[in-house]
Amino acid sequence: MALVPLPHHAISRLVFWLTRRQSPLVTPAIRRFVRAFRVDMNDAADPEVSAYPSFNAFFTRKLKAGARPIAEGADIVVSAADGTLSAAGPIDAGTVVQAKGVTYSLDALLADAAASTCYTGGSFATVYLSPRDYHRLHMPLAGTLLSQTHVPGRLFSVAPHTVRALPKLFARNERVVAEFATEHGRMALVLVGAINVAAIETVWHGLVTPPAGKVVRRIDYTGDDAITLDKGAEMGRFNMGSTIVMVFEKPLAWREGLATGSGVRMGEALASPVPASCPRT
């Protein structure tokens, strides 16, 4: 018997509606969620769950001031999110590692073959945000926004077991690609959607999805529309949890002791650009 695909988008639209409902049942439901997923509320700007009128307000909660120090140094690349570093390394011949023995093409991820050539020989890092993690996303480096592209796709789970089992997952799921110019070359931040991740927002556009749409939509930001964000500044957010893929034009030297599978926090140092082999004199 053939398997019937799950209606990912229909399920996620239902979650979108449910997580924005305000009801007397919200606070006890959030309390159960906090206990079940062992959510640390001590870092939240408002640690009292009754302060959140909806699940979405809880999922997208702010951190209190100073909860995530940003690693100093303009050339230090920091984590864009709290979560698990699921993969990191060089971009080899346009190929990115999804999990051990599983790869996908950068062309497919960015949905832009011309843009992907900028990152040949560069580096990437992927951070998985679980439901218990802080869900806002921040800048790994200071940068000026060049474009935002919404790429329609499926909404498979991005939980670790699915990432290991499903080929080309991040290049198949719906996603938002934000490309920046930085002092260290181009940088693309890819916000990957997933089942139950009912919304992806950016700070300059607001809600990008839903609606899911059926065609790739690109917006260029130039001239008076140019937007510059500091390192550590908020750039977007997920509902629930998902994955962000950080792609860099330049090769990076990873921080000593950094290992895939380890937990990372937003603002934590991940890497620095590899010095030029032939520096100018």
Residue 82 appears among annotated catalytic residues: yes
Catalytic one of 8, 9, 82, 123: 82
Using CA atoms, how far apart are residues 63 and 66, in angstroms rounded to an integer?
A: 8
Backbone angles phi, psi at 151, to 5 degrees: -110, 110
Q: Which two tokens mark 85?
A: 């570093």
36 in Cβ contact with 221 (< 8 Å): no
124 in Cβ contact with 116 (< 8 Å): no
Using CA atoms, how far apart are residues 171 and 108, in angstroms rounded to an integer?
A: 5
Residue 138 appears among annotated catalytic residues: yes
154 in Cβ contact with 218 (< 8 Å): no
Residue 242 appears among annotated catalytic residues: yes
Nearest to 205 by CA among 143, 150, 139: 150
Catalytic one of 8, 9, 138, 184: 138
Q: Is the peptide bond before 90 cis (omega within 30 degrees of 0)?
A: no
Active site residues: 82, 138, 242
